[in-house]
Amino acid sequence: MPMRGFLLGLAALCAAAAAPAAAQPHPQPPEIAARQYILVDLASQQVLAESGADQRAEPASLTKLMTAYLVFNAIRDGRLKPDQALPVSERAWNERKGGASVMFIDPRMKPHVDELLHGLVVHSGNDAAVALAEAVAGSVEAFVQAMNRQAEAWGLKNTQFRNVTGLTEPGHHSSARDVAFVAAKIIADHPAMFPIYRVKSYTFNGIRQDNRNRLLARDPTVDGMKTGRTDAAGWCLVATAQRDTPAGKRRLLSVVLGAAGDEARAAESHKLLNWGFSAWDAVRLFEPDQALATVPVWKGALPEARLGVAAGLVVSVPRGEGARLQSSLTRTDPLVAPLAAGQAVGRVKVATAGGAAVAEVPLVALQEVPLAGWFGRTWDALRLWIR
């Protein structure tokens, strides 16, 4: 499903894709030993659980999600090629100091973009982050500015970047909700690049390093995404799992910030994901371009228009509640041409049997209806006047 709700930065997620989730009786999430967390169903674009998700926190190497997103953009736009060899600056080489995560590149090397991406994602290499940032923007500083412009364009109000690596620095912060947004954008906008996040180990220059995301080895449905740790941030993990359900493939995304240790961040993330799949059902209500109504159109070259939900609709409801959902639609009447495909002409509302709001999305024209000729318009104008 397209990233309908996430385009509002998850802050207004339910307003874009659903009515406020608080209107439903929520299953009680498990106790999560972390400072902040959030769990999102990417199929329905709904937040299933959260705690302190808008509190500003140090993101540590989760910062590299945004670093990677901008590099993926550069590859998509043709500004970088995966097999392109890049120089390694002294600045990138110096990232090896202080015990930071690195992929062990040095100025004598010219690694390819694809190698650096694996170093960035699998090794969480600070040196790879710097080398890629310099290749995309000319300097780390210019790249950081681009990161902040992107965050601002997305409306991420709790995110500000000072570097490309996630090292502790005054003014460098994000939140669980904002991190979830960036991770979801990678999945939605760069599906060809996303498989890098499931790579369990990578060898560069004879040095093998394992992915620090322990869940990749524990759960075959987990296929990403990113770890992070600094003394100030604690142990952090973004994890995503995709499982088959009666409604189709369903992907959940969890963000856990400030766990007590490596094992804790994995265990708490897994706990959240398993709870989301077991306590909630994803229900596919409408298919993309499925006609929910066919109604007359006045002054149109076509006598009728098919109305529906352009992207289809999947909702998340507490386990067992799907069969009791009720839907209703309201629409503009009379419907007068011209109509553009995708033009909103009403609303579709979904509620529980008890009347609690579950979702509200635009009802749109599924086809273009141009104006009729002069005679048709004149005749319908007269009929409308009589009506």
Burial 285-318 (b: 16+ CB within 10 A, else e): bbeeeeebeebebbbbeeeebbbbbbbbbbbbbe
Q: Which of 35, 22, 6 is nearest to 156 (CA)?
A: 6
Residue pair 326/353 in contact (Cβ under 8 Å)? The answer is yes
Cis peptide before 225 (omega within 30 of 0): yes
Catalytic residues: 61, 64, 124
Q: Which of 297, 236, 202 is nearest to 61 (CA)?
A: 236
- Alpha carbon 243 to its chain centroid, in Å, reads 17
CA dihedral for 234, 235, 240, 241, sign (positive or negative): negative
Alpha-carbon distance of 130 to 117, in angstroms, equals 11
Place of tokens 């600056």: 89
DSSP 2: -
Q: Which of 55, 20, 39 is nearest to 233 (CA)?
A: 55
Q: Where are the alpha helices (DSSP H) in the chain?
A: 13-17, 64-76, 90-93, 113-121, 126-137, 140-154, 176-189, 215-218, 262-279, 374-386
